Amino acid sequence: MIKFIHHHWRRRWERFYHRNRWHLILDIALIVVIIILGISIISLHFYKPNLPWQFWTMSGSTSEIDLNNPPLEITVINPDLTIKSSEGAILKINLKNKGASPMSNIKIKPVIGDQVAQLEELEKIDQTENFKIINQQIIIDRLAAAEEKELSVRLRFSVLDNSQRKIPVQAQVEYLVGRQVIKKTSDLPELQLASELMVRALAYYNSPQGDQLGIGPIPPIVGIPTKYWLFWELSSQGDFQDLVMTAKLPAGVELNGSRSLLAGDFKYNPDSRQLIWTVKEIASQSDSYRLGFEVQLIPTLEQVGKVLPLVTNIKYYAQDALDGQEISGGLKDVDTNLEQDRINKGQGKVIE
């Protein structure tokens, strides 16, 4: 081997190097470059830095991924997941790439329990966040190794089973690491569906259909009676029981005998001037809970130029039929301005 190298060296020296030293310089430079490249390739093979192209995978040696412990970690960071169906659910999601390689083409599809509710819309909350929503899927182009990302989305859904208050949520996840496609379904925290009791107190002189219900002058005139119809209405998301709704008639307003009662019992105490409506049971999403009654107002001279209350101090409370929790609230006073009356709205000031 030594003789071969010596012979090869003498031949190149006589043919090239002796005549022109640039041949020698060029060969030495090429040998140095080859040595440097060899050392670099060996270093990259053992170190494996996080480069997007990862050229060592081309040789067929890929890093093995544990599918039981995939590199993408998804965590819901909401402190409270009790939500109202009318508002939808806002999920604050944290994504973390636990692997040593970047991942790309990340798709996350929220799936809610199909027996309980149905997903209607997936909405982006913060338009500045760097992701897209396509076909009810969250799309993220890339997540570098050890990178974390937080995003917020709103899930709007329709409830299918009103007897269920817990809605299971999963995330169907798909992403690319190197050339490997990883798919996994992850369980997310359950959504707790809050019970909602909607109570309204309305006053009309003309009904929404235009029929005249009241009698007397509009706007009200001093010394002349004007009759109005008041309606109390209930609707709910979830079942309730033992509802009590109360209010008081102010001075100058009297309860007439006419009334319409679709559910429950209605009582009036003339000494305390208190109205009481009780309903034993309220079924979810039913619109059959309504009370209507007629009141009469006779304005006095001192009330000229004023909008007068027809009922005041409206309060209600009921019990959640599922967990026994008490729901209570109050409504603003109903007055002669008739805010829901399309024909007579705003004509509540007393005139002479």
Predicted pLDDT at 47: 63
Superfamily of domain 196-335 in CATH is: Mu homology domain, subdomain B (2.60.40.1170)
Tell whether the model's pLDDT for residue 54 goes beyond 50.
no
**In this predicted model, what pLDDT tens digit does every residue of 248-298 receive, in sequence order?**
999 999 999 899 999 999 999 999 999 999 999 998 878 789 999 999 999
Q: Residue 158 forms beta bridges with which residues?
A: 118
Q: pLDDT tens for residues 132-174? A: 999 999 999 999 999 999 999 999 988 887 777 788 999 999 9
Can you give the residue ranges of every domain in the chain? 2-47, 72-193, 196-335
- What is the structure's pLDDT at 22? 64
What are 220-248's pLDDT values in tens digits?
999 999 999 999 999 888 889 999 999 99
Residue 182 — very low, low, confident or very high, per pLDDT cuts 50/70/90? very high
**pLDDT at 62 (0 to 100):** 45
- Whether 196-335 and 72-193 are alike in CATH topology: the answer is yes
Report the top-level CATH class of 72-193: mainly beta
**Share above pLDDT 90 across residues of the chain, in percent, rounded to a whole number:** 58
Rg (CA), the chain: 39
Please determine, for residue 301, whether its predicted confidence score (pLDDT) is greater than 80. Answer: yes
Pick the closest to residue 218 from 203, 233, 231, 200 (CA basis).
203
Q: CA dihedral in degrees (62, 66, 72, 77; nearest 10)?
A: -160
Q: What's the distance, CA 91 to chain centroid?
A: 6
Give the residue-averaged pLDDT of 207-231.
Answer: 95
